[in-house]
C-alpha cells in the first residue's frame, strides 16, 4: 500500500484550529473564573460569555480506546473541544451550560474521576518507570495509582490549606517535577555499581565515562581497558550508567524510594523552592508500596491540620521550622538528612535560636 | 569546493574516526571547516545533505546524540539497499 | 491476543477509585500483542523489582535525529512482541488543545502501527506514542506528517516548547503564551529535529508568576509573563469578597510578601512601587484585582533536575521585555543565548551548569544585557572579584 508523502519540519498544527468559538471570541479577554466544585469551574469573559470546564483524571498512560471514549464524550457535550493539562488531566470545554449536568452524570456512570481544581491534589506528575524506562529503579505508575487511591478524596472534594503538588520520579534523572513539588517520591540507588569490564571496553568511551562522574570517583583501569570506581566517593547517582550502560547501577534488592517535601514553583508570597529530604528510604514493595503511601498520607494530614489557609507545604514548614516538621510528623532524623554534597554549607544552622526535639 | 567533493571529504573523515570517537555534528563541522577552509555553514549544509539521503545518520548513545556511518541494517530498513 | 499472561501483581492495581494504568494496558492488549507482551514484562518487573529495558541507537526517520527514542526489551525471547518498543514523540499543540476529530485520527494511525498506548503527554510536553517497531517508523512519519503532525524531539536538541493555557482561558495571563509557543516551535524546527546542541534545551512559557507549566523549575529558558504599572482595583468587588466571608486582612494584606497593601474602611490600597508582582492577591481575589496594563515578560535561564551536581531553578536574566508578534527581539535573544552556550559547554552540560562555572558576566555581555540588581538576591559577600580591561576606563 502506498504511503502518503512525508513532510518535514512542519511543526504542530496551529492551536487556533482546536479552540472552541467561545475562546476564539474572548481570547485574552477573560475577566474572572470561579471554582464551582472540586472538578468544575467557569471562566467569564468581559463580554459576559462563559466557558465551563470539567476536569477528569487520567493515569497518563492512556489506550487509544480510552482516548476515543473521551473524544466521544467531547463530541456529545462540547462540540468535540477538549484539552489536557500539564498534570495529565483531561478537560472538557463546555460552552453550553445546560450540558454540564448530563456530562457529569455520564462521566460518573463511566467511572471517570472528576476533580483536581482548587486547593486540592491535582494528579501526580510522573515518569515511565518499569513500564518503559531503562534507568527506572521503581515503577512510577504503580506508586501513583496506590497513592492517589489513598488520597482520592483530596482530588474530588476535600479541601487542603492550598493546592498540594505531588510527583513521582523513577530515578534521580527526575523526568517529573520532583525537585520542586510539595510532596514527592524519588527512586534512589544505594550501592556502588557493578562494572562489566568486557562490555565497557566494547561500547563505552573511557574519557567520557570518567568525566561523567560528579564526585570524580571514576578512574581509568588500563589493565581491563575499563574503569574503576572509588567506593568512598560514589554517591550512586547513576550518571555513569547513562553514559556507559555496562556500569550497572541496578541492585533490585537494595534500590527503593525517598520522600522529599516542601518544593513549589509559583512565586506567590514566597520564592519558588526546592523539595528537601523528609524520608531517605523505603524498600520497593510492589504492587502497592503500603509504607510509602502511609508516609505520604501522614505528611499530608499533619500539613492539613497545622498549616494556615493559603500556605503551601514548604511555606508551612519554613514558618514552623524544619525541626518542628520532624516533631510534628514523627519522622526520624538521620545522617542522610544532613547535606554533604554541593549545597551543604548553606543548610547548616548558624543561629542559636531553634526549637527542641520533643 | 564542489559540494560532492566536500561530502567525500566528510565521509573520509567519518571513516577515519569510526570506532575512535563518537562525533557530534559540531565536531564534524569544526574538523572539516579547518581541513577545507570552507565556512562552517557550508560544511553543515553538505553534512545535512548526506544525512537526508542516508549516507550518514544520527545516532544516540551514552546520553548524547552523534553522527555515524549507517549500518547495513539501517540502510535496509530505510529502503536504501536491498 | 490478550490474556497470554497471568498478572496477579498488576491486577491489584486495578482496584480502587483512581483510574488504572493497568486497565489501560489491558485495553490495548486486546488488540495488540505488543501491548500484551508489555503487560507480561511489567508483571515480571513487579515480581523481580527491576526494569528490563535497553535504549539508544534508533533516533528517527531519515534526515531526523530526534523524535524517536529507541527502546528494546532486554528479554526479547521471552517477550518477542516488545523486542522493539520505540517511543514516538509528536509536537504537541500549544496549550494541549485538541478536537475529538484530530485526536481520533492520531489514534487511528497509532493503532495501525503501534501498541495503542500513549502518554497524554510526556513530561516535557510532547504527545507520546509508546511502543512500535523499527520497520514502522517511516510509515508512521509519512502518515502523521502528511496530516499536519510532526515529530517531537529527543537527544542533544531543543525540546518542543511548552506553555500554560494562557489567554485561551485565563484572566491572569500577561502574554500570549499559546502564540509565543507556536511561533518558537516553528522557529526552531531544525534545532528540534537535528541534534546539534551540547545537550537538551527546553523553553517553557507561563502567563504569570503562578507558573502552571513549571517554567521556572523545568526549562533552560523560562519566559514568565508580568506587568508594569498599577494593579487595577475594583473596590465594589472587594466589598463583595468581604461580604462573602473572606478575611481580607489575614488572607490578603498579611500574606503580601512586601507589605505593600492596606485595607481600611472596606477598601484596598496598594503601594505599587513596592509590589513584587507575586500574584498572591490577584489569584485570591480574581474578580477585584487585575494586573497592570503594560504587559511583558521576565526571562529566566538555567533550571534543571538534579543530575549531576544538584537541581537548579532558573535565574533572572532579563527583568522585563515586551513580547509581541512576530517576537523578533525574543527570537534573536534566544539564538544569542544558545550560541553562547553551544560555544562554551562541554558535552552534556546544560546552560545553567555552564553559567555556574563561567559566571553570569560573559553570558550577559554576549547577549547584550547589562548587570541589574533584579538578577541577584543579594550582591556578593566575598572580596574576590574579577576586573576586565574595559572596567578600567576613567
**pLDDT 10s digits, A307-353:** 999 999 999 999 999 999 999 999 999 999 999 988 899 999 999 99
Chain A residue closest in CA terms to B52: A8
- Let me know if domain A17-109 sits in CATH 3.30.70.3340: yes
Q: Which of residues 144-183 of A touch C (CB under 8 A)?
A: 144-146, 148-149, 152, 155, 169, 172-180
Domain that holds residue B19: 3-77
User: How many contacts, defined by CB atoms under 8 Å, are there between A and B?
Assistant: 14
- Which of C70, C134, C154 lies nearest to residue B77, judging by beta carbons? C134
Kindly indicate the confidence band of residue B73, based on its pLDDT and cuts at 50, 70 and 90.
Answer: confident
Q: Which residue has the cell 529558558?
A: C221
Does the structure show a pLDDT above 70 at C353? yes
> Does any domain span residue B67?
yes
Cβ–Cβ gap A287/C9 under 8 Å: yes
Least confident window among A202-206, C22-26, C218-222:
A202-206
Interatomic CA distance for residues C133 and B80, integer angstroms: 18
Residue A37, φ and ψ in degrees, nearest 5: -160, -175
Determine which of C307, C374, C382 to mutate to test the interface with A (most A C-beta atoms within 10 Å): C307
List every span in chain A annotated with CATH 3.30.70.3340: 17-109
Does the structure show a pLDDT above 60 at C1? no
Kindly indicate the confidence band of residue A1, based on its pLDDT and cuts at 50, 70 and 90.
Answer: low
C374 touching chain A per CB within 8 A: no
What is the rounded average pLDDT of the residues C190-195? 97
Q: By CB neighbour count within 10 A (0-12 exposed, 13-18 middle, 19+ buried), where does C8 fall?
A: exposed
Cβ–Cβ gap A239/C308 under 8 Å: yes
Q: Do domains C8-146 and C230-290 have the same CATH topology?
A: yes
Chain C residue closest in CA terms to A9: C189
- Which of C25, C149, C280 lies nearest to residue A12, judging by beta carbons? C149
Find all residues with CB under 8 Å of C24, minimum gap 6, and list them: A59, A61, A62, A63, A66, C117
pLDDT for C2: 58
Interatomic CA distance for residues A90 and A94, integer angstroms: 13
Q: How far is A206 from chain B (nearest CA, A)?
A: 10
Percentages of chain C per state (helix, strand, coil), in multiples of 5: 40, 20, 45
- Return the percentage of chain A with pLDDT > 90, whole number: 96
Angle at C5 between CA C127 and CA A152, to 5 degrees: 55
What does the mean pLDDT of chain C come to? 96
List every span in chain A annotated with CATH 3.30.70.20: 194-248
Buried-state track C276-311, b at ≥16 Cβ within 10 A, e below 16: ebbbbbbbbbbbbbbbbeebbbbbbbbbbbbbbbbb
> Does any domain span residue B82?
no
Q: What is the CATH number of the domain that holds B7?
A: 1.10.10.10
C357 touching chain A per CB within 8 A: no
Cβ–Cβ gap C162/A86 under 8 Å: yes
Q: How many CA atoms lie within 13 A of C74 on its CB side?
A: 16
Determine which of B52, B60, B62 to mutate to test the interface with A (most A C-beta atoms within 10 Å): B62
Interatomic CA distance for residues C249 and C261, integer angstroms: 10
Angle at B65 between CA B63 and CA B69, to 5 degrees: 130
B65 touching chain C per CB within 8 A: yes
Grouping H, G, I as helix, E, B as strand and the rest as coil, residue B51 is helix
Cβ–Cβ gap B25/C59 under 8 Å: no
Residues of B in contact with C65 (CB under 8 A): 51, 57-60, 65
Interatomic CA distance for residues C240 and C289, integer angstroms: 12
Residues of C in contact with A310 (CB under 8 A): 251, 255, 280, 284
- Note whether A173 and A242 are within 8 A (CB): yes
C45 touching chain A per CB within 8 A: yes
Neighbours of A224 (CB within 10 A): 13
Interatomic CA distance for residues A270 and A277, integer angstroms: 20
Tell me the CA distances in angstroms from C18 to A40, A53, A108, B75, C14, one per residue in order. Answer: 18, 20, 13, 46, 9
Residue A326, φ and ψ in degrees, nearest 5: -70, -35
What does the mean pLDDT of chain B come to? 94
Q: Which chains have 3+ CB pairs within 8 A of B?
A: A, C
**Domain layout of chain C by residue ranges:** 8-146, 162-227+294-392, 230-290
Domain count within chain B: 1
> Does any domain span residue B49?
yes
B49 touching chain C per CB within 8 A: no
- Which of C30, C167, C286 lies nearest to residue A32, judging by beta carbons? C286
Chain A residue closest in CA terms to C288: A32
What is the rounded average pLDDT of the residues C276-305? 97
Per-position DSSP letters for C318-329, written without gaps between them: EEEE---TT-HH
Whole-number CA gyration radius for chain A: 24
Cβ–Cβ gap B58/C59 under 8 Å: yes
Topology annotation, domain C8-146: Alpha-Beta Plaits (3.30.70)
What grid cell was written down for C244?
A: 462573602
Residues of A with CB under 8 A from a CB of B: 203-205, 208, 212, 239, 242-244
Of A331, A325, A233, give the one whose Cα is nearest residue A282: A331
Q: What is the pLDDT of residues C248-258, one digit of tens each?
A: 999 999 999 99
pLDDT for A113: 98
Q: What is the pLDDT of residues A140-192, one digit of tens each?
A: 999 999 999 999 999 999 999 999 999 999 999 988 778 999 999 999 999 99
* Architecture field, domain A194-248: 2-Layer Sandwich (3.30)
Q: Which CATH code is given to the segment(s) C162-227+294-392?
A: 3.30.413.10
- Return the percentage of chain B with pLDDT > 90, whole number: 77
- Note whether A23 and A45 are within 8 A (CB): no
Q: Which chains have 3+ CB pairs within 8 A of C?
A: A, B
Per-position DSSP letters for A254-268, written without gaps between them: T-EEEEEE--B---S
Q: How far is B21 from chain A (nearest CA, A)?
A: 7
Topology annotation, domain C230-290: Alpha-Beta Plaits (3.30.70)
Chain B residue closest in CA terms to A207: B21
Does the structure show a pLDDT above 60 at B11? yes
Q: What is the pLDDT of residues C129-147, one digit of tens each?
A: 999 999 999 999 999 999 9
List every span in chain A annotated with CATH 3.30.413.10: 121-190+252-346
Angle at C330 between CA C328 and CA C333, to 5 degrees: 105
Residues of A in contact with C215 (CB under 8 A): 265
Spelled out in words, what is the top-level CATH class assigned to the domain A121-190+252-346?
A: alpha beta
Amino acid at each position: 500500500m502506498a504511503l502518503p508523502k512525508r513532510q518535514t519540519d512542519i511543526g504542530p498544527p496551529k492551536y487556533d484550529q482546536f479552540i472552541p468559538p467561545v475562546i476564539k471570541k474572548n481570547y485574552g479577554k477573560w475577566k474572572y473564573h470561579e471554582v464551582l466544585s472540586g472538578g468544575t469551574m467557569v471562566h467569564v469573559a468581559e463580554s459576559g460569555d462563559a466557558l465551563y470546564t470539567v476536569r477528569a483524571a487520567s493515569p497518563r498512560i492512556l489506550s487509544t480506546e480510552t482516548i476515543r471514549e473521551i473524544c466521544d464524550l467531547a463530541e456529545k457535550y462540547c462540540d468535540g473541544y477538549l484539552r489536557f493539562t500539564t498534570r495529565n488531566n483531561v478537560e472538557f470545554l463546555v460552552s453550553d451550560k445546560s450540558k454540564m449536568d448530563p456530562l457529569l452524570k455520564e462521566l460518573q456512570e463511566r467511572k471517570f474521576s472528576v476533580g483536581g481544581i482548587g486547593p486540592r491534589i491535582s494528579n501526580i506528575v510522573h515518569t515511565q518507570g518499569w513500564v518503559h524506562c531503562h534507568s527506572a529503579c521503581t515503577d512510577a505508575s504503580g506508586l501513583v495509582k496506590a497513592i492517589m487511591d489513598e488520597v482520592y478524596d483530596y482530588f474530588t472534594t476535600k479541601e487542603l490549606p492550598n493546592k498540594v503538588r505531588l510527583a513521582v520520579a523513577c530515578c534521580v534523572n527526575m523526568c517529573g517535577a520532583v525537585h520542586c513539588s510539595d510532596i514527592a517520591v524519588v527512586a534512589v540507588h544505594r550501592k556502588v555499581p557493578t562494572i562489566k569490564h568486557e562490555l565497557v571496553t566494547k561500547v563505552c568511551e573511557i574519557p567520557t565515562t570518567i568525566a561523567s562522574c560528579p564526585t570524580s570517583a571514576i578512574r581509568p583501569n588500563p589493565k581491563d581497558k575499563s574503569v574503576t570506581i572509588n567506593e568512598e566517593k560514589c554517591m550512586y547517582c547513576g550518571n555513569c550508567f547513562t553514559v556507559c550502560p555496562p556500569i550497572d547501577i541496578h541492585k533490585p534488592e537494595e534500590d527503593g524510594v525517598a520522600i522529599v517535601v516542601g518544593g513549589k514553583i509559583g512565586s506567590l508570597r514566597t520564592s519558588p523552592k526546592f523539595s528537601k529530604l523528609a524520608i531517605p528510604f523505603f524498600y520497593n514493595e510492589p504492587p502497592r508500596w503500603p509504607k510509602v503511601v502511609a508516609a505520604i498520607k501522614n505528611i499530608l494530614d499533619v500539613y492539613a491540620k497545622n498549616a494556615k489557609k493559603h500556605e503551601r507545604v514548604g511555606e508551612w514548614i519554613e514558618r514552623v521550622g524544619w525541626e518542628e516538621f520532624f516533631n510534628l510528623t514523627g519522622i526520624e532524623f538521620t545522617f542522610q538528612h544532613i547535606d554533604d554534597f554541593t549545597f551543604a554549607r548553606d543548610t547548616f544552622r548558624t543561629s542559636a535560636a531553634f526549637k527542641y526535639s520533643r | 569546493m564542489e559540494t560532492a567533493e566536500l561530502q567525500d571529504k566528510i565521509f573520509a573523515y567519518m571513516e577515519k574516526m569510526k570506532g575512535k570517537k563518537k562525533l557530534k555534528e559540531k565536531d564534524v563541522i569544526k574538523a572539516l571547516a579547518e581541513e577545507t577552509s570552507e565556512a562552517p555553514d557550508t560544511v553543515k549544509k553538505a553534512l545535512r545533505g548526506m544525512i537526508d539521503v542516508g549516507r550518514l545518520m544520527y545516532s544516540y548513545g551514552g546520553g548524547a546524540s552523534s553522527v555515524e556511518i549507517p549500518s547495513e541494517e539501517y540502510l535496509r530498513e530505510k529502503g536504501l539497499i536491498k | 491476543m490478550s490474556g497470554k499472561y497471568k498478572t496477579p501483581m498488576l491486577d491489584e492495581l486495578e482496584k480502587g477509585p483512581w483510574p488504572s494504568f493497568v486497565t489501560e494496558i489491558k485495553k490495548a492488549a486486546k488488540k495488540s500483542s505488543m501491548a500484551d507482551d508489555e503487560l507480561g514484562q511489567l508483571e515480571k518487573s513487579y515480581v523481580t523489582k527491576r526494569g528490563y529495558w535497553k535504549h539508544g541507537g534508533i533516533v528517527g526517520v531519515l534526515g531526523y535525529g530526534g523524535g524517536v527514542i529507541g527502546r528494546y526489551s532486554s528479554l526479547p525471547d521471552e517477550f518477542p512482541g516488545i523486542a522493539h518498543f520505540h517511543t514516538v514523540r509528536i509536537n504537541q499543540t500549544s496549550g494541549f488543545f485538541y478536537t475529538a476529530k484530530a485526536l481520533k485520527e492520531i489514534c487511528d494511525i497509532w493503532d495501525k502501527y503501534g501498541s495503542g498506548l500513549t502518554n497524554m503527554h510526556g513530561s516535557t510536553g510532547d504527545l507520546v506514542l509508546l511502543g512500535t517497531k523499527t520497520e514502522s517508523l517511516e510509515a508512521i512519519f509519512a502518515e502523521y506528517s502528511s496530516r499536519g503532525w510532526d515529530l517531537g524531539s529527543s537527544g542533544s536538541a531543543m525540546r518542543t516548547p511548552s506553555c500554560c493555557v494562557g489567554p485561551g482561558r485565563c484572566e491572569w495571563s500577561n502574554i500570549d503564551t499559546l502564540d509565543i509557543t507556536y511561533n518558537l516551535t516553528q522557529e526552531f524546527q531544525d534545532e528540534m529535529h537535528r541534534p546539534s546542541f551540547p545537550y537538551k534545551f527546553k523553553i517553557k512559557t507561563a502567563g504569570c508568576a503562578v507558573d502552571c507549566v513549571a517554567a521556572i523549575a523545568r526549562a533552560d529558558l523560562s519566559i514568565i509573563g508580568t506587568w508594569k504599572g498599577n494593579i487595577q482595583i475594583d473596590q465594589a468587588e472587594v466589598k463583595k469578597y468581604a461580604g462573602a466571608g473572606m478575611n481580607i486582612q489575614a488572607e490578603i494584606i498579611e500574606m503580601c510578601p512586601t507589605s505593600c497593601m492596606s485595607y481600611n474602611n472596606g477598601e484596598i490600597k496598594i503601594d505599587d512601587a513596592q509590589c513584587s508582582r507575586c500574584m498572591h492577591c490577584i489569584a485570591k481575589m480574581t474578580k477585584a484585582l487585575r494586573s497592570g496594563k503594560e504587559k511583558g515578560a521576565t526571562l529566566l535561564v538555567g533550571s534543571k533536575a538534579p543530575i549531576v551536581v544538584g537541581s537548579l531553578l532558573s535565574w533572572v536574566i532579563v527583568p522585563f521585555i515586551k513580547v509581541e508578534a512576530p517576537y523578533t527581539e525574543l527570537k534573536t535573544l534566544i539564538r544569542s543565548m544558545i550560541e553562547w552556550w553551544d560555544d562554551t559547554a562541554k558535552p552534556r552540560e546544560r546552560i545553567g551548569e555552564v553559567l555556574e562555572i563561567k559566571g553570569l558576566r560573559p553570558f550577559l555581555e554576549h547577549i547584550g544585557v547589562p548587570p541589574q540588581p533584579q538578577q541577584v538576591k543579594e550582591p556578593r559577600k566575598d572580596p574576590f572579584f574579577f576586573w576586565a580591561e574595559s572596567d578600567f576606563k576613567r
